Structures are given as structure tokens and as C-alpha cells.
Amino acid sequence: MNIATSNLEPHESSHQERNPSPVSLSYVAGSFKIAGRTWQTTPVFDTYWRFAQARQVIYHRRVKGWDLVSCEDPILSAFKFTNAYRAADRVSQYLLREVIYGKRMFGAEDTFFRTLLFKIFNKIETWQLLTESLGELHWRAGIIQEVSQILNLAMMRGDRIYSAAYIMPSGGGRFNRKHDAHLCLLKGMMQQRMFRQVAQAPNMESAFNLLRSQPMLGDFLAYQFMTDLNYSELCNFSEREFVVAGPGARDGLRKCFPGLPLSLASEAIKAVCASQNTEFAKRNLEFENLWGRPLQLIDCQNLFCEVDKYARIAHPEVQGLSGRTRIKQQYRPKGPLDSPIFPPKWGLHIC
């Protein structure tokens, strides 16, 4: 039995809170209101909420070191999915613990440099390789060339330096190695003092547009990078005002709202995020949020990507955009979680 028809045993406690200034929504069976119009939904939309709740149950159990043998869902037990909260994922946790906050606080320039250097590759092993060779990484003359040389040697050994999570652009053939194109991009942003422009931007969308204006950074990458920069003290933008739907999220949206034009993808994510308390309650789901922090737009965007994958098995009859029918990554337990870390400015009291 899967969460399309049955949810996991709810956690024994819940930290529900009201959404600030929710969008006016109406809901009837099989429909949902987005941008002033009611759209028909599929069973995948119901699964979206059950998936979020079940995945969060698993996360809280892992934080507490509990055994997950009691997980009733065979799809969640067999395949790899991200957490309901993006910041709780393994790579984001490493970014927060080792890159942004680390053993000391970094200035705005180094925070921008370190965050984007990590995120370009998005691979923990690559960051570890660089720090083992160069020590604590900070912006200085010659650092880009030194990083390039280390990565060239790694590639000669056959090492993979990029995560498979993002598809990074090649750079248009101007460079012999893809990573040199991306390091050149980073160098250009540092020379432009873009960290100051981002810090002075009035909101997340304006800061996103600064990154989006750079070569090779499309909508999805610029939004992901901006979200990571916003974890730091460089800026403090609201995560409830601006969102960009990535390819996987657009697939999930199509499976939930088959008639919805994808030009309304961002509006759909905003409406779903604003309705979270109502939608969980309608399904009698206890959603134990992130120690008082409700799902943000980036989390709801990611959940559409994850429910797209989940639905390939749970709802094979519901078609998306890509036509994919399999989930590639198997779930392999990695042992107990470290004590979680989140941006101090969020004010979470982890217990």
C-alpha cells in the first residue's frame, strides 16, 4: 500500500502554524483555485500532500535516530527522494555547516564566493578535494587558476567533479573543460562585485535577475543559486514572494493540474504553498513542519518535482511532460543524521 491510498503513521507531535496573509482559495473535490480560476486536479494532487507529510515523518524519525522499519510505503522505502524541506537535504546541510557558516563567519565577499563555488559543482567530495589541497577557501588573486588545476588533475584520475542534481551548461565550446567555463563565470561575478549588488537588492526577484543576467545561468540555476545565497547573512529575502518552477516541478504540476497552462506555474506553486494548512487538514494529515517553519515556495517547488517521480509508480496512468516512467535512484540508508543546522536568522529551536 502506498501513500496514494494510505498515509504513514503520523508522528506523535505537530507544530502547525497559520500561514501569513494566505491567498484566497476555494477547494472542492477534484479542483483547486489558481490565479482566480478553478482547475481540475488528478489524484496526484492528493498524493502531493500525503507524500509531503510522509516524507517529513521519515525525516523527523531519522533526526531522532529512530529505526525506519515501520515505513509502510514501498515506494519511499525503495527509492531516493529529497526531504520535504530543501534546507534539510544532505547537500544543503553540508553547505550550511561547512561552507556558509563553517568554523567562523565569513564576510559578504567570501560568503558569495564560497557559496557559488560549492553550488557550481554541488558535490561534497569536490569541495573536500579543494579544501584538502588549498585550505580554507576565500576569494583572492589566483584562486580560480589554482582550483582549475586541481580539478584538471581530478578529471585525469577519472573522478566526477559535478553532482548529477543539476545539468550545468557547457559554456558554448569556448573552453576545453566545462569547469573552466563555470570558474570563468564565477571570476567575472567576483570582479563585478556582484555580492554587493545582491546584498543591496530590494527583494529576492531583483537579486535573482542579477544572477539571471549572467552568461550560462538560466532561470532554474539562478533561482537555486539565489536560494542558497539567501541561506547566508549576505541577504534576508522572503521565500514567500518569488519562485521559479524547474523542469521536474513543471512535470509534477502537469500531473496535478493537467489543464493548467505552464505560464501559471509560479502562481500555482504560490497558491499551493498558501493553502498548505488547509490542504493537510482536509486530508486529516498531521504535518510536523520544520520546528515551526511552514513550507516555503522553494520547498513546494521541490515537492512537485518529487511527486512527479513518485507518481511514475503510484499513478502510472497520469501523464506528465517528460514521459519518464522509472525512478532511477534507489534508496540506500546512510546511517543516522547529524544534528541539523539551519540559518540562525530563521530562529528555529530544534528539539
Residue 105 binned pLDDT confidence (cut-offs 50, 70, 90):
confident
From 114-123, 171-180, 219-228, 273-282, the region with the lowest mean pLDDT: 171-180
Task: Express as a percent the part of the chain with pLDDT over 90.
Answer: 77
pTM of the model: 0.89
Cell triple for 314:
503510484
The whole-chain average pLDDT of the chain stands at 89
pLDDT at 68: 59
Integer distance in angstroms from the first to the last C-alpha of the chain?
Answer: 31
Could you read off the pLDDT of 124-163 as tens digits, one per residue?
A: 999 999 999 999 999 999 999 999 999 999 999 999 999 9
For range 250-262, the mean pLDDT = 97
pLDDT at 28: 40
Top-confidence residue, 13 or 185:
185
Cα distances (angstroms) measured from residue 136 to each of 128, 159, 199: 10, 22, 23
For range 333-343, the mean pLDDT = 85
pLDDT at 16: 36
Residue 317 binned pLDDT confidence (cut-offs 50, 70, 90):
very high
Could you read off the pLDDT of 156-195 as tens digits, one per residue?
A: 999 999 998 777 887 767 888 999 999 999 999 999 999 9
Encode burial over 81-96: b for 16+ CB neighbours within 10 A, e otherwise: bbbbbbbbbebbbbbb
Could you tell me how far CA 211 lies from the centroid of its own chain?
17
- pLDDT of residue 85 exceeding 80, the answer is yes
Residue 17 binned pLDDT confidence (cut-offs 50, 70, 90):
very low
Closest CA to 8 of 57, 59, 80: 57
